[in-house]
């Protein structure tokens, strides 16, 4: 289950010396199929890294034949020199693979500000080398090469009727809506147009990656790319395509959540009976972004008071004195007042479920997040990224 | 320098057993002057604690003669029983002091959800006792009685021409705009109307407490109260009153920042050349609320890349590739690209100054915050509040 699960794709992952550990750090995925339709979603952060600026242009015509990704440096805020590095990387891959540079997406991840001559030399040599070892078994190597603080490669595949869609993802810290410092490559052998891929991808990211909010920070480099080879000969319906891509993104999003930097709990925040889906999401996010609540969870404290204090900062429609809060199935607060005793909740499992009933309407939404731990503080104070 | 510095005020602070340490936990401040004009600002969190719900009504007519404050319990989300406790507290103080219950403001701070019979009994006995030991020297006792996680009482005074305004404040965790879990009582012997006090107080809080954003969390109990006795016989101009109240609030806000729970840096974020003051504040807040940036500061890492990543999430007007970032006077980023080497910055002093030049307009604003440390996580995971 990887980016080479679907027919028509080859991949590679090599070590170019960008990572001091000598681990793989440049990945390449090439679409060898009859079709080169593609769609992508990028970070909504207005400060976009050089590779994002380049790739937005590449994807604009809906045609992509390859994507080259490096870890070990985000090439962000690296000026014109950094943009040239991205451009040269695309040119080099295009030359080696035999395609046009304007069909090569480039992604980078790692420390912001890294992008000097040494960086350029390694990225280029890695790109060139990866093009010589492409194979239909190269998916795992590619998934490994894009890792930064990830503890393991993340891959998944979803099967349709006679077609499939698979993918790889990286991301652990800096997860927030807008797809913070997350790189995702999805490949399918479905036969679909760029517009169909775009619709499916946007619907999928909207309810998955956009609702993964580990620490409220939004990155500069995020890219979610979907490429279609058409090699299955099957053209799924819009609903089928959206459902499969959504299921795949949900799986990868869960893997990212479960690998969030230093987290000790994986928290599913389910907001029900909201006035609208947007409001349910807004309320869910207010919980995910409450440092006090997330620290309490780290301390295994089912602090419903901090839940109410957090949602009171939103503009969503509800009566603060008519909401229910449950932790792992135990209702601790009913209509804004204490209900079951807090010691009935077992907070020790890594998975935590918070249910919040707003009694305001028919809508629901789920937001994924993680708690605020000493390890998070340590990891993000001890190294520059 | 305290709430009894201005003429016409008496105060007291007693121990009622709300704090297990036996420390003082009920405070009372009474205006014995010829005038009882007052104004207050309360939390903007829609989930307001019982004492806030009560006090909003008390202040509505611009007349306040006393304020009773307890620590050891926020009396928030404690239902109708909790509201009755607040009401009974006001009634008891009114009876003991010889005034109307509708002129008694009540404030509470401490754990959310605490407000049962035992809590009520202690608050009432403490309120009754405090009324028997009022004195014009009681300011420090009162300032001590309102402390929760504060490490020391916070007081200040500002002198006008023949009049003065003094105050006390508590607050350490949960500091954010909207005056999170902050209680502030300001007393002046100026002769001023409720409307004049209100205008001065709102202007002052707008540029001080509202820009103190330690951890992005907004409380349920915040109250900033300003009472005027008129005993100086002096009626300052609107400008004079606003300037003095603002200076006092700025002093107290600094004290709160410098005592933020577990912080290792006091950070002054100065945003200059923004399109508007509101945008400057929005940008400053995006930095204060970036966990990645605040963790980097804790690690003594002047991570300008995370500064740019944070401001890119705002809608303020600026070009991400035309901003300058300086840490403690060293410009690390010019026009969105690296400038001086990061090792030129000394991050070891507790005070940190971040200057961000947006090159977009004429406006500036300053936001105060603190870094994200292990101690913060420990304090907020280890106890329920």
DSSP code per residue over A171-233: --SS--TTTTT-EEEEEE-S---HHHHHHHHHHHHHHTGGGB-SSS---S--EEEEEE--TT-
- Annotated binding residue at A380? yes
Check pLDDT > 90 for residue B46. no
Contact check, Cβ <8 Å, B380/A295: yes
Q: Crossing angle, helix A304-311 and helix A291-298, to 10 degrees?
A: 160
- Residues of A designated catalytic: 181
At residue A306, what are phi and psi to the nearest 5 degrees?
Answer: -70, -25
Say yes or no: B286 contacts chain A, CB-CB below 8 A.
no
Nearest CA in chain B to A44: B313
Residue B201 is assigned to a structural domain of this protein: yes
Q: Domain check: are A192 and A323 in the same one?
A: no
Residue A46 is assigned to a structural domain of this protein: yes
Q: What's the CA gap between B376 and B262, in Å, rounded?
A: 5
- What's the whole-number average pLDDT of chain B? 92
| 8 Å CB contact between B320 and B336 | yes
Residue located via tokens 């404040």: B169
Domain final position from A259, A287, A305: A259
Check pLDDT > 90 for residue B219. no
Of B45, B78, B313, which is closest to A312 when you measure between CB atoms? B45
Q: Domain check: are A276 and A170 in the same one?
A: no
Of A303, A306, A377, which is closest to B377 when you measure between CB atoms? A377
Contact check, Cβ <8 Å, A305/B112: yes
Contact check, Cβ <8 Å, B376/A291: yes
Residues of A whose CB is below 8 A from B295: 376-377, 380-381
Domain final position from B259, B276, B297: B259
Which residues, given as ranges, of chain A have pLDDT below 50? Answer: 173-180, 385
Q: Is the ipTM of this structure higher than 0.90? A: no
Check pLDDT > 60 for residue B339. yes
Residues of B whose CB is below 8 A from A178: 313
Q: Domain check: are A313 and A211 in the same one?
A: no
Tokens of B78: 């404690």
Say yes or no: B348 contacts chain A, CB-CB below 8 A.
no
B127: domain CATH number?
Answer: 3.60.70.12
Residue B13 is assigned to a structural domain of this protein: yes
**Structural domain that includes position B120:** 9-259
Q: Domain check: are A219 and A287 in the same one?
A: no
Say yes or no: A218 contacts chain B, CB-CB below 8 A.
yes
Interface of A with B in 49-108 (CB under 8 A): 76-79
Residue of B95 and B182 predicted with greater confidence: B95
What confidence score (pLDDT) does residue A18 get?
95
Angle CA(B350)–CA(B210)–CA(A291) in degrees, nearest 5? Answer: 65
Residue B3 is assigned to a structural domain of this protein: no
- Annotated binding residue at B2? no
Q: Domain check: are B236 and B325 in the same one?
A: no
What confidence score (pLDDT) does residue B214 get?
64
Contact check, Cβ <8 Å, B295/A219: no
Percent of chain B clearing pLDDT 70 (strictly above): 96
Say yes or no: A47 contacts chain B, CB-CB below 8 A.
yes
What confidence score (pLDDT) does residue A46 get?
87
Say yes or no: A305 contacts chain B, CB-CB below 8 A.
yes
pTM of the model: 0.83
- Annotated binding residue at B380? yes
Q: Domain check: are B45 and B100 in the same one?
A: yes
Interface of B with A in 187-206 (CB under 8 A): none
Distance, in angstroms, between B306 CA and closest chain A CA? 8
Q: What's the CA gap between B89 and B106, in Å, rounded?
A: 8
Going by C-alpha positions, the residue among A228, A219, A163 that lies closest to residue A199 is A228
Q: Domain check: are B240 and B374 in the same one?
A: no
Q: Domain check: are B56 and B186 in the same one?
A: yes
Contact check, Cβ <8 Å, A305/B217: no
- Annotated binding residue at B261? yes
Tokens of B112: 């959310």
Q: Domain check: are A148 and A278 in the same one?
A: no
Task: Find the mean pLDDT for residues B252-273.
Answer: 91
Residues of A whose CB is below 8 A from B308: 47, 77, 112, 220
Check pLDDT > 70 for residue B344. yes
- Residues of B designated catalytic: 181
Q: Domain check: are A133 and A237 in the same one?
A: yes
Of B113, B298, B304, which is closest to A338 when you measure between CB atoms? B113
Q: What's the CA gap between A37 and A192, in Å, rounded?
A: 7
Contact check, Cβ <8 Å, B312/A382: no
B353: domain CATH number?
Answer: 3.10.20.340
Q: What's the CA gap between A327 and A214, in Å, rounded?
A: 18
Residue B71 is assigned to a structural domain of this protein: yes
Count H helices and E strands in chain A, helices first.
10, 15
Of A79, A178, A381, which is closest to B296 when you measure between CB atoms? A381
Tokens of A126: 């890695």
3-state SS, residue A216? coil
Residue A2 is assigned to a structural domain of this protein: no
The two beta strands, A363-370 and A266-274, are antiparallel
What confidence score (pLDDT) does residue A379 get?
74
Say yes or no: A282 contacts chain B, CB-CB below 8 A.
no
Percent of chain A clearing pLDDT 70 (strictly above): 96
Say yes or no: A216 contacts chain B, CB-CB below 8 A.
yes
| 8 Å CB contact between B194 and B37 | yes
- Annotated binding residue at A261? yes
Distance, in angstroms, between A74 CA and closest chain B CA? 10
Domain final position from A218, A243, A259: A259
Q: Domain check: are B68 and B146 in the same one?
A: yes
All residues at 6 or more sequence positions from A271 whose CB lies less than 8 Å from its CB, including other chains:
A280, A281, A283, A284, A356, A358, A364, A365, A366, A367
Task: Find the mean pLDDT for residues B283-304.
Answer: 91
Count of structural domains within chain B = 2
Distance, in angstroms, between A169 CA and closest chain B CA? 21
Task: Find the mean pLDDT for residues B254-268.
Answer: 89
Contact check, Cβ <8 Å, B217/A373: no
Residue A115 is assigned to a structural domain of this protein: yes
Q: Domain check: are B157 and B214 in the same one?
A: yes
Residue A3 is assigned to a structural domain of this protein: no
Contact check, Cβ <8 Å, A47/B216: no
What confidence score (pLDDT) does residue B277 get?
96
């Amino acid at each position: 289950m990887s980016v080479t699960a679907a027919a028509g794709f080859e991949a590679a992952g090599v070590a170019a010396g960008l990572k001091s550990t000598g681990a793989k750090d440049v990945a390449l995925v090439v679409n060898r199929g009859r079709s080169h339709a593609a769609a992508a979603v990028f970070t909504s952060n207005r400060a976009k890294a050089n590779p994002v600026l380049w790739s937005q242009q590449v994807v604009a015509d809906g045609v992509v034949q390859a994507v080259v990704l490096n870890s070990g440096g985000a090439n962000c805020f690296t000026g014109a020199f950094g943009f040239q590095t991205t451009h040269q990387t695309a040119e080099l891959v295009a030359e080696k693979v035999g395609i046009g540079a304007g069909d090569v997406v480039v992604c980078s991840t790692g420390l912001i500000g890294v992008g000097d001559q040494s960086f350029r030399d390694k990225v280029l040599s890695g790109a060139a080398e990866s093009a010589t070892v492409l194979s239909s078994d190269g998916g795992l190597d590619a998934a490994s090469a894009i890792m930064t603080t990830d503890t393991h490669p993340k891959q998944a595949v979803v099967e349709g009727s006679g077609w499939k869609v698979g993918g790889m993802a990286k991301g652990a810290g800096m997860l927030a809506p807008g797809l913070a410092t997350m790189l995702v490559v999805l490949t399918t052998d479905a036969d679909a147009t760029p517009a169909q891929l775009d619709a499916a991808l946007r619907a999928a990211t909207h309810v998955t990656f956009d609702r993964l909010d580990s620490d409220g920070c939004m990155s500069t480099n995020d890219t979610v790319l979907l490429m279609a080879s058409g090699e299955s000969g099957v053209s799924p319906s819009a609903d089928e395509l959206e459902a499969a891509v959504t299921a795949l993104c949900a799986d990868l999003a869960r893997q990212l959540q479960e690998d969030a930097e230093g987290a000790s709990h994986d928290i599913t925040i389910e907001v029900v009976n909201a006035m609208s889906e947007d409001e349910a999401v807004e309320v869910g996010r207010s919980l995910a972004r409450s440092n006090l609540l997330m620290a309490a969870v780290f301390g295994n404290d089912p602090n419903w008071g901090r839940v109410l204090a957090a949602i009171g900062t939103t503009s969503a429609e509800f009566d603060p004195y008519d909401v229910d809060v449950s932790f792992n199935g135990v209702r601790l607060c009913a209509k804004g007042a204490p209900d079951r005793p807090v010691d009935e909740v077992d907070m020790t499992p890594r998975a935590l479920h918070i249910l919040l009933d707003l009694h305001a309407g028919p809508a629901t939404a789920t937001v994924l997040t993680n708690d605020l731990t000493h390890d998070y503080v340590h990891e993000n104070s001890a190294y520059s990224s």
